[in-house]
Amino acid sequence: MAHTLSSCVLLALLVMVFTSYLAIAEQHNVLSYGAKPDGRTDSTKAFLAAWAQACSSISPSTIYVPPGRFFLQNVEFKGPCKNKAIVVRIDGTLLAPTDYRIIGNAGNWIFFQNVDGVTVSGGVLDGHGSGLWDCKQSGKNCPSGATTLGFSNSNNIVISGLTSLNSQMFHIVINGCTSVKIQGVRVTASGNSPNTDGIHVQLSSNITILSSKIGTGDDCVSIGAGTTNLWIENVVCGPGHGISIGSLGKDLNEPGVQNVTAKTITFIGTQNGLRIKSWGRPSNGFVRNASGVKISDVIYQDIQGTSATQVAVRFDCSKKFPCTGIKMEDVKLTYKNQPAGASCNNADGTTSVRTASKQIADETNQNSINLYSNFASCSTLAMTNSVEKCNKARKALKCVTALLESEYGALYADLEEPEADYRIFPLHDAAATGFVLVLKWFELLLCHKATNGFENLVFRITIS
C-alpha cells in the first residue's frame, strides 16, 4: 500500500513539473514589438526584437506572426541561441520590397544562421521578384538577387506548410546544415523567371523534402556539391527545369554528392526530369549512389510519363571518367504515343524494362549504340575485346530469334541476311523483325573482318 502511495505521489509531482514546464513556454507576438500588419510599415526591427527575446530565453518559444501583411527588408536571425526549440509560426504574409534594388544585393531576404532546433511553420513569403526578372531579361546591369529563405550552418531545422511566391533568386536555400525536414511547402514563380530554383541544397546532410509542390523558372530542386543523404519524395515539379544535381566540378577540390533518392516525383511541363550536370573541366568531385566529374551507381526506377523529345533518356559522360553502375529499372517513357528512346555516350550499366521500348542507335556516335526490347532473358552488355563482343552478339541474336520463332512462328526463321554493305544497313524500329535484323547487323559488324574504324565501338545490346 505504501509503495502504491509513493508511486502516486511521484506521478503527481511529475505531472506538476511537466505542467509548469508547459506554462512557462513563451510566445512572442510580433505585434507586441511594434510590427504593423498593414503591408506598408517596415516591421524589420520588430521581428528582430522578437527573435532576440526568443533566442536568449531558456524556455521553448514561439514567435507568432498573426494574420495580416507585414513588410520586411532583409532580416537576419542569428544564433547560436540558448533556446533550441524556437517555432516561427506565420499566419500572415511577409512582403519583400517591391523595388528589387533594396535587397537585390543582400544575398538573402530572410536568413537564419548558426541556429539549432528552429521550425518555420505556415504563412506566405512574397519575394516580389518580377521587377528583377524583367531587369535580367532586358540585359541591363542588375543585382544578383536575394534568396527568399536561407539557412546556413544550422541543425535540426523544420520548414512546414510554407508558401514562397516570386522570389528574386532561389526560394529556399539549405547551406552547411544537418537534419533538415522540408514538408508541405508550395513554391511558385513564373515559368520564365530566371534563376528561381525552388529548393537548393549544398554542403548539407540528412535532408528530406516531402509532399511539396514546386513550379518555377529554374530547377524545382537543385543539389549542389557536398550534399549527402538527401531524400525527396511525393513532390510535384513543374514548370521548371526538373531536379538537378550540379553543376559539379566548378572548383577543383569540391566535395561530391552521395546518396540522393528521388521517389514518387511528378514532373509536369518541365525541361528535364532528373539530370546530373558537370562543368567541362578537371575536378575531384563525384556523384555516387545517386569533364573530370565521376558519376557512378545511379539508379532510375519505376519512371513513367511522356517526353517532349524523341530521346527521353540521355547519358553524355566524360570519356576520361565514364559513368558506371547506371541502372534503369522499369523506365517507361513515350514520345507522341510511341516508346521514346535513349542515347548513351561513355556510360555503362544495365536496364530492366517489362514492356517494349523503342530501339535506339545513335549512328552519329561510334562510341555507343543502345538497343532495347522486351525479351528479359536475352541481356548482354559491352565487353572489352572484339572476340567477347562477337560471342555476345551471336548469343543475343540466337536467343532473340528463338524467342520470336516460338512466339510468332516460322515467319522469323527465314529472314534473309542483311546486304554486305552492313555499315549503312538501315536500323529498324522496335518491331520484332527490326530487332532481328539489327542484331544480325551487329553480328556482321563485330564478327567479320571489315571492322576497321570501329575498334573503339562500345557494343551494348540490352534486351529486357
Q: Which residues are catalytic?
A: 241
- Rounded CA-CA distance 102/105 in Å is 8
- Rounded CA-CA distance 91/162 in Å is 10
In 3D, which of 131, 127, 243, 242 has the Cα closest to residue 191?
242
Place of cell 504563412: 123
Is 408 within 8 Å of 443 (Cβ atoms)? no
H/E run at residue 437: helix 432-447
- Using DSSP's 3-state secondary structure scheme, residue 3 falls into helix
Q: In 10 A of CB 341, how many CB atoms?
A: 23
Write out the three cell numbers for 350.
544495365
Q: What is the DSSP letter of 426?
A: P
Is 157 within 8 Å of 193 (Cβ atoms)? no
| CA dist list (Å): 218 to 164, 221, 273 | 15, 9, 12
Alpha helices in 65-167, H assignment, sequence order: 130-138
Angle, vertex CA 180, rays to CA 73 and CA 48, nearest 5: 25
Is 233 within 8 Å of 264 (Cβ atoms)? yes
- Rounded CA-CA distance 356/432 in Å is 10
Write out the three cell numbers for 206.
540528412
